[in-house]
Amino acid sequence: MFKNLLIFPLILICAEMAVFLSTDMYLPALPDMMHDLDVSTSLVQLTLSAWFLGGMSVQLFIGPICDRVGRRPVFITGMLIFVLSTFVCAIAPNISILIAARFFQGCTICFIIVPGYASIHELYDQKNSVRLLATMSSITVLAPALGPFLGGLLATLTNWRWIFLSLFVWGLLITGWVLARMPETLAADKRAPLNLPFVLGQYKSIVTNWQFMHYLLPYWLMFCGFMSWLVCGPFLVTNEFHYKPLYFGIFQLLVFGFYMVANRLVRFLVDKMRLNQLIELGLFILLAGSLFSMATSLLYPSHLFGLIGGIMLFAFGFGLSSASLQRLAIESSDAPMGSRMAVLSTGLGISGLLATGLVSLTYHGKLSSLASILFATAVCASLLYRSGKRYHSPADNEMESAVLSNNEG
């Protein structure tokens, strides 16, 4: 059991990265997939929409199921679905089958995140779990940072199908590792029945909690803006500016490099600033980045690097504020942790789906189509956060102080 306690976080990191890479690695190959399958830009973008739709479709069911059957069976089921759906993606003869397989591939994120992080919280005490989760976040963010680079490299050397084949092999190895080493952290006598009225009541209490939503709505909007770059970027870089897919991977490394630097800074700034100050600083930088992107896209429509610079600032601001927004949202509700995480994750899925929809509706091959989404989401996130602050009570400030004290500990 002690060895499993040490190994399971590494298993979870590898499983998370495999699932996230299933989207991040294939982004540079979207134009190649469009030509290979002989479909339009909007149709190939549906493969990304389907992944997010899958990711948000079962989130709200997984939490109660985990509490009923345990963590291990749900996690293993998710890995098996991932392996099968990834193989189908690799051999898909047409866009319809690929879209369907991507939906099921997206579903697996629910099966991984909910039981995986529930196990972490059950295996470790508070201080150790906080330290571990911070370390895990800094590692898993490498998936979107390195994914496009690796995918662009594979797409350049082979073709887009090998991206999914490589993930299929990775998934097989992780599944075997899970079967051998994942512990069951939920004892049989602590498992809860599937009580629909209770579950629905908890979800209602979460979504009607104004403070919970005040913190998460700006977070979801920033994520939507960030995702619009991931959806739109490959087409701008390769189709409009005629760079090779590998260059999108390099740009992605720069963008996520700024995001990672911001996350590292948070670990130091949280001891010197209140969480709301950290959020406001992040929102200011994010808004400045989106404004810079909009200005350069209008003034210099034939130059890509101004937009990339603005996106890097957007990512930096997102990195500064996202952790504090999540933490304050989670701390603002007394509902079961699984339900809170399910709502948070579902919102991220909806935000990703919204990003693909906005890009499909507004993309016209110009820099301003992406810059306008970044600017709109940044403005809305800032206005929502500032409008909600006027309703804060003294109890909210006490809660934030408690969160800050826990982080310092």
- The pLDDT tens digits for 352-377 are 888 888 888 888 878 888 899 999 99
Give the pLDDT confidence score for residue 27 in this predicted structure: 82
Q: How far apart (Å, rounded) are the C-alpha atoms in residues 130 and 116?
A: 15
Q: How far apart (Å, rounded) are the C-alpha atoms in residues 254 and 234?
A: 15
Nearest to 102 by CA among 210, 23, 188, 25: 23
Give the pLDDT confidence score for residue 289 in this predicted structure: 94
Give per-residue pLDDT as tens, 174-202. Answer: 999 999 888 887 778 777 777 888 888 88
Same fold yes or no, 1-193 and 195-409: yes
Which CATH number, 1.20.1600.10, 1.10.357.10, 1.20.1250.20, 1.10.540.10, labels domain 195-409?
1.20.1250.20
Give the pLDDT confidence score for residue 342 in this predicted structure: 80
Q: At which residue do the structure tokens 């080493």 appear?
A: 181
Nearest to 63 by CA among 110, 6, 119, 132: 110
Instruction: Give every residue of the chain whose pLDDT is below 70, as ranges.
Output: 1-5, 121, 125-135, 137-138, 337-338, 389-409
**Sequence spans of domains, the chain:** 1-193, 195-409
Give the pLDDT confidence score for residue 318 in this predicted structure: 92
Q: Determine contact, residues 380/289, Cβ cutoff 8 Å.
A: no
Nearest to 287 by CA among 379, 386, 371, 389: 379
Quickly count: other Cβ atoms within 10 Å of residue 5's Cβ. 13
Nearest to 163 by CA among 173, 155, 172: 155
Q: How far apart (Å, rounded) are the C-alpha atoms in residues 270 and 408?
A: 8
Q: What is the CATH number of domain 1-193?
A: 1.20.1250.20
Phi, psi of 38 (to 5 degrees): 55, 55
Give the pLDDT confidence score for residue 127 in this predicted structure: 44
- The residue type found at 382 is S
Give the pLDDT confidence score for residue 280 in this predicted structure: 93
Q: How far apart (Å, rounded) are the C-alpha atoms in residues 262 and 283?
A: 12
Give the pLDDT confidence score for residue 363 in this predicted structure: 80
Q: How far apart (Å, rounded) are the C-alpha atoms in residues 116 and 69?
A: 14
Supply the pTM of this predicted model. Answer: 0.75
Give the pLDDT confidence score for residue 2 in this predicted structure: 46
